Amino acid sequence: GAGVSQTPSNKVTEKGKYVELRCDPISGHTALYWYRQSLGQGPEFLIYFQGTGAADDSGLPNDRFFAVRPEGSVSTLKIQRTERGDSAVYLCASSAGGGYTFGSGTRLTVV
């Protein structure tokens, strides 16, 4: 596609539920990144894929968070047993090795 697409744009879920956030990167971009922006903070790194594999997952806050990119294109960020502290904007970016192109994010609200 022309840009990075993230769905849904907004998600409200109840505490304890499971959610999946999707990122569709620019076609041909091998690198894909997930960031999380909490209120009043800058975006914080979560995980980075190079192709299908997670090259760096050191930013995932705990084992409730998991991400996959099975075919090297679309990625899904999965959050189990959501907590109110998970409420944030989740941003995805892709890169071909130079600049980064961001999606418009998924705003997750856990109530």
Partner 1 sequence: ILNVEQSPQSLHVQEGDSTNFTCSFPSSNFYALHWYRWETAKSPEALFVMTLNGDEKKKGRISATLNTKEGYSYLYIKGSQPEDSATYLCAYPKETSGSRLTFGEGTQLTVNP
Residues that bind partner 1 (CB under 8 A): 3-4, 9, 31, 33, 35, 40-45, 48, 56, 59, 91, 95, 97-105
Secondary structure letter of residue 97 according to DSSP:
S
| Minimum CB distance to partner 1, residue 13 (Å) | 19
Nearer to partner 1, 14 or 27 (CB): 27
Hey, which residues does 107 pair with through a beta bridge? 10, 89
| Minimum CB distance to partner 1, residue 86 (Å) | 19
Contacts of 48 (CB under 8 A, 6+ apart): 31, 32, 33, 34, 54, 55, 56, 57
- How many CA atoms lie within 13 Å of 57's alpha carbon, on the beta-carbon side? 13
| Minimum CB distance to partner 1, residue 71 (Å) | 21
Nearer to partner 1, 58 or 62 (CB): 58
| Minimum CB distance to partner 1, residue 84 (Å) | 21
Tell me how many degrees the CA angle 86-88-74 measures, rounded to the nearest 5: 95
